[in-house]
Amino acid sequence: MTSTREVACLHLENLELVMVVDCFGDHRIVEVNLPHPPEIADLKRLTDVGRQTILSDLPRPFFRIDCPGRFLLTGIIGDPKVRFTLRQAALTKAPKIVSQAVRELLNLKRKGAKR
């Protein structure tokens, strides 16, 4: 990311969320190292998805998933590092929104949730 810098690192439910300043000087970007690399099937679990692009023909398939009102999620299939670019309206709830999306993505249960 151009001219971004890490400003905070949150540990939330065993996830490391790295908040970085984007090139507008805002905290719109959250980078996450997932516990395991996402597969195409994982992407289908995300809810409230708007536009979804998966360049699956590439040797390293790139995905770009837009969730209106919340974020743009980008990453590479097989690479655990993904990036959330948040919408303005979602900035104040960034950790919650990102951790919820990661749980959806990886089909993780919330800690303490009833089975």
Residue with Cβ nearer other proteins (17 or 31): 31
Residue nearer to other proteins on the CB measure, 51 or 109 = 51
State the minimum distance, in angstroms, from the CB of residue 51 to other proteins. 5
Closest contact distance (angstroms) between CB of 65 and other proteins is 11
Given a contact cutoff of 8 angstroms between Cβ atoms, the answer to whether 73 and 46 are in contact is yes
Using alpha carbons only, what angle is made at residue 17 by residues 64 and 77, rounded to the nearest 5 degrees? 35
Question: Please, what sign has the CA dihedral across residues 9, 45, 106, 114?
Answer: positive
**Positions in the binding site for other proteins (CB under 8 A):** 1-5, 22-26, 28, 51, 53, 55, 58-62, 64, 66, 68-69, 72, 74-76, 79, 83, 85, 87-89
Q: Which is nearer to other proteins, 9 or 109 (CB)?
A: 9
Nearest Cα to 65, choosing from 76, 74, 77?
A: 74
- Separation between Cα atoms, residue 93 and residue 27, nearest integer Å: 11
**CB of 16 or CB of 26, closer to other proteins:** 26
